[in-house]
Amino acid sequence: MSETSTVARWDESPFVKACRREPTEVTPVWLMRQAGRYMPEYRAVRAKVSFLELCKDPALATEVTVTAAERLGVDAAILFADILLILEPLGLDLEFAKGEGPVIHNPIRERTHVDRIQPLTDVAPLGYVMDAVRSIRSALRPETPLIGFAGAPFTLACYAVEGGGSRHYELAKSFMYRDQGAWDALMERLVDATALYLNAQVAAGAQALQLFDSWVGNLSPFDYRRFVLPHMQRLFAKLTPGVPIIHFGTDTGSLLELQRDAGGHVIGLDWRVELDAAWNRLGTGVAVQGNLDPVVLFAPRTEIENQARRVLNQAAGRPGHIFNLGHGILPHTPVDNVVALVDLVHTHSQKSRAPG
């Protein structure tokens, strides 16, 4: 098959068309963390290697990415990686500690510490990610788009300052309030590195990108406008033109308009907002992604169906809806329920679009 015909097949996929707010015959669906611990095939791979080893092995990353996309029947695959991988070549000492999650052993706590963030001028230290993108793109069906991704600068900065996970982000936000100059310098370095990283994923074969700003919902609109918005606008301006970009955050119901103004073709919605009301707030210029509560997938099948139909009914067949969860699939989710959800979204949305 020629490169041109391959490109044409994913470019006309329901997922890519929905990113462009074009009509589709079926509502596209993919799921955050669709390759994860809930899936026995993934657990079998993880039994042999650590999480970081899996992320850094292009063949294994390809295996878990493609297996999940094909098993579930979703309309897009997402690169298997982690948002924190970029921090290693920037000079931060990252470890995925068993039972603790990510730990950064040399966190940024003072103005002088910002100099630890080395400019990323070459993606060679992250070459294993680009190798995975190329390998996954080659292994996927031509009609299945591949989503690349990165953590958004605010979320990366929080990890860098906190040194790991947090509930209240008091260290990161105190740093931000105490020394805006140092905060801006940190964010600028993260913006430059993230843009280079994402553009390299596109060059390697990703058809779309998602920015995960998982922690930004902890900010007030005032603080978002002051400490995040200008940096996000600069980041979006540096990304490859014409590539669909999903801008996702959690608990961001108070920030939706600001996220839209920051950039992105698609705004990800979590389950704490009503999809139709949120889309009306955002206006006609963006698509939306979401927004089923991941815990619904533990419910009886009838409840999963009712909740999924509710989301689809709120979207009302409007061009530009990508069905997803409001966050990632949880580790103990029954696989059969995930498959059933994907089938339901396809079946119900196709019937609702049928003439007559």
The domains of the chain, with CATH numbers, are 3-353 (3.20.20.210)
pLDDT above 90 covers a percentage of the chain that reads 92
pLDDT band at 242 (very low <50, low <70, confident <90, very high): very high
pLDDT at position 354 over 90: no
pLDDT at position 288 over 50: yes
- Supply 136's token pair: 């996954």
Among candidates 6, 30, 14, 32, which has minimal Cα distance to 138? Answer: 6
> Helices 153-162 and 229-238 meet at what angle, rounded to 10?
120
Q: How far apart are CA 122 and CA 353, in angstroms?
A: 47
pLDDT of residue 160: 96
What's the average model confidence in pLDDT over 4-26?
86
pLDDT of residue 233: 98
pLDDT of residue 353: 73
pLDDT at position 255 over 70: yes
Paired with 157 in beta bridges are none
CB atoms within 10 A of CB 154: 26
pLDDT band at 61 (very low <50, low <70, confident <90, very high): very high
pLDDT of residue 2: 42
Q: What are phi and psi of 159, to 5 degrees?
A: -60, -45
- Helix or strand (DSSP H, E) at 246: strand 245-249
pLDDT at position 7 over 60: no
pLDDT at position 203 over 80: yes
What's the average model confidence in pLDDT over 176-200?
98
Can you tell me which residue has the tokens 């890519």?
A: 16
pLDDT at position 1 over 50: no
pLDDT of residue 101: 85
Q: How far apart are CA 115 and CA 130, in angstroms?
A: 27
Instruction: Please calculate the CA angle 244-207-351 and round it to the nearest 5 degrees.
Output: 75
The strand ranges marked E within 24-145 are 77-78, 94-97, 101-104
pLDDT of residue 166: 87
Q: What is the pLDDT of residues 86-109, one digit of tens each?
A: 999 999 999 987 777 899 999 999
In this prediction the pTM is 0.95
Q: What does each C-alpha distance from 216 to 19, 162, 221, 253, 325 come to in angstroms?
A: 23, 14, 10, 11, 18
Q: How far apart are CA 40 and CA 286, in angstroms?
A: 36
pLDDT at position 21 over 50: yes
Q: How far apart are CA 204 and CA 68, in angstroms?
A: 21
263: amino acid identity, one letter: G
pLDDT at position 270 over 70: yes
Q: What does each C-alpha distance from 171 to 100, 126, 161 come to in angstroms?
A: 18, 28, 7
Paired with 149 in beta bridges are 210
pLDDT band at 6 (very low <50, low <70, confident <90, very high): low
Mean of the per-residue pLDDT values of the chain: 95
Q: How far apart are CA 41 and CA 35, in angstroms?
A: 9
pLDDT band at 140 (very low <50, low <70, confident <90, very high): very high
CB atoms within 10 A of CB 217: 16
Q: How far apart are CA 212 and CA 197, in angstroms?
A: 14
Question: Are the C-beta atoms of residues 21 and 28 closer than 8 Å to each other?
Answer: no
SS3 state of residue 79? coil
pLDDT at position 146 over 50: yes
pLDDT above 70 covers a percentage of the chain that reads 97
pLDDT of residue 4: 46
Q: What is the DSSP letter of 29?
A: B
So which residues are the catalytic ones? 33, 37, 46, 82, 159
SS3 state of residue 324? coil
CB atoms within 10 A of CB 149: 23
The strand ranges marked E within 36-162 are 77-78, 94-97, 101-104, 146-151
Of the listed ranges 84-88, 115-119, 128-132, the one predicted with least confidence: 115-119
pLDDT at position 73 over 70: yes
